[in-house]
Structure 1
Amino acid sequence: MSRAGLVSRAVVGLAAAALLLTGCTSDPLADQYRAGDSKGYIAGDGSITEIASADRGDPVEFAGLTETGEPVASADYLGEVTVVNFWYASCAPCRAEADDLQSLNAQFEGKGASFLGVNVRDQAANALAFSETYGVTYPSVLDVDDGGMQLAFSGSIPPNAVPTTLVLDAEGRVAARILGAIAEASILETLITDTIAEGSPVEDN
């Protein structure tokens, strides 16, 4: 191959690497998604489902390892609301909603709700790079090898619907679902706030 060809291939490789870790202030994939250009991407339609307390199924039991190798389990989150977001690094709508998720995570920290990501495709290095690029501080379970998290939530998330965000009540039951990217942070904020409020029922006299 000619020197010019080698240079061309190197430039393409560098451009691809830059695209993978582009910051949220200028992200072509996220911008394409916001503009309505899905590039053949299969995702949810953004529909919102709320489940009345009396109609919720059994608590979801799960366990896994985070991108830093720390073990996590459903028992760790009982007693408070848990927001579970399914994502992966090259997912355009996942990038588009990352800021909103992190902002809400910070807003509800210590106030009755915790966030947990579930990365369905990446190994630790890419997951950590994504979190650093987008300033995400909550952990994510790596689910690419055995799909255990997806299996645990299989009754709540359909195949190919990434991102999907679930709100679990204090008992670990699915209380609400956003199938696809979060259209407005205020929508998820309301779902979280309403579910937190359930955990403080008025006692009968």
Structure 2
Amino acid sequence: MPITSRRSALAAGGLALAAITLGLSACAQEDDLARQARAGDNKNYIAGDGSVTEFAANDRKEPVEISGALFNGGAVTPADFVGKVTVVNFWYAACAPCRVEAPILEELHQEFKPQGVQFYGVNLRDEKAAAEAFEKSFGLTYPSLDDKDGGVLLSVAGLVPPGAVPTTLVLDKQARVAARVLGEVQKGTLKALIAAAVAE
């Protein structure tokens, strides 16, 4: 299925993507991730390359079917994603890029909440105490799913490389993936991707 792949650099504070080039192919991204996995540098995560992939509305796949338990005791089902733009961020506490981007995600959560945009974290490794300590340290107010069993990751297979953390998805109002960022997000870029999904 064809996709529109763009690597984006955003001028500070801008809403429009300022420079667009063809991104890496999925194969190239996987090769880069494989190289990191073989490096043996003990950093305990595989970083994405920051590439941004946008999916044109008529090229998007079926809605994702995300469900699971939240660390706060609640739960989500696929129905919770219908009718709202949703940002889904895959993370865990020991991931250095996750720590860098956490304040950015919270800022954008607060900025877009009045427009009905919802944010969910998906924690791939941590026990509840570690996840909650991370959320408290960075003042995160949006909930995270406990995905140590890999159920959420499996539901987005082919979109989120299993070892690439962080990865961020922007879902449209039909719960289809409108955009993906492999690696640490840049605030202006993610803001533009969310705004584009809201405007649809």
* Equivalent residue number for residue 179 of structure 2: 176
Provide the aligned length of Structure 1 versus Structure 2.
Answer: 160
Q: What's the CA shift for 1:155? A: 2.1
* Equivalent residue number for residue 197 of structure 2: 195
Where does the alignment leave 5 or more consecutive residues of structure 2 unmatched? Answer: 1-40
2:169 aligned to which of 166, 177, 181: 166
* Equivalent residue number for residue 115 of structure 2: 111
Q: What's the CA shift for 1:159? A: 2.1
Query: What SS does the corresponding residue of 1:110 show, helix, strand or coil?
Result: helix
User: Using the alignment, how far apart are the partners of 1:118 and 1:72 within structure 2?
Assistant: 11
Rg larger for: 1
CA deviations on 1:65-104 (whole Å, 9 max, x unpaired) are: 1112211122112101000000000100000000100000
* Equivalent residue number for residue 91 of structure 2: 87
Q: What code does the residue aligned with 1:185 have?
A: K
* Equivalent residue number for residue 143 of structure 2: 139
Q: What code does the residue aligned with 1:188 have?
A: L
Give the alignment's TM-score, normalised by structure 2.
Answer: 0.77
Q: What code does the residue aligned with 1:174 have?
A: V
User: Using the alignment, how far apart are the partners of 1:85 and 1:47 within structure 2?
Assistant: 15
1:121 aligned to which of 120, 125, 143: 125
Query: What SS does the corresponding residue of 2:170 show, helix, strand or coil?
Result: strand
Q: What code does the residue aligned with 2:168 have?
A: T
Q: What's the CA shift for 1:150? A: 0.2
Query: What SS does the corresponding residue of 2:115 show, helix, strand or coil?
Result: coil
Q: Does residue 71 of structure 1 match 2:101? A: no
Identity %: 54
User: Using the alignment, how far apart are the partners of 1:143 and 1:159 within structure 2?
Assistant: 12
Is the contact made by 2:54 and 2:178 (CA closer than 8 Å) also made in structure 1? yes
CA deviations on 1:133-184 (whole Å, 9 max, x unpaired) are: 100000000001x2100000112111211000000000000000000011x2
Q: What code does the residue aligned with 2:91 have?
A: W
CA deviations on 1:110-140 (whole Å, 9 max, x unpaired) are: 2131100000000111111111010000000
Query: What SS does the corresponding residue of 1:126 show, helix, strand or coil?
Result: helix
Query: What SS does the corresponding residue of 1:131 show, helix, strand or coil?
Result: helix
User: Using the alignment, how far apart are the partners of 2:183 and 2:42 within structure 1?
Assistant: 12
User: Using the alignment, how far apart are the partners of 2:42 and 2:105 within structure 1?
Assistant: 21
Relative to its length, the structure with more helix (as a share) is: 1
Q: What's the CA shift for 1:39? A: 4.4
Query: What SS does the corresponding residue of 1:192 show, helix, strand or coil?
Result: helix
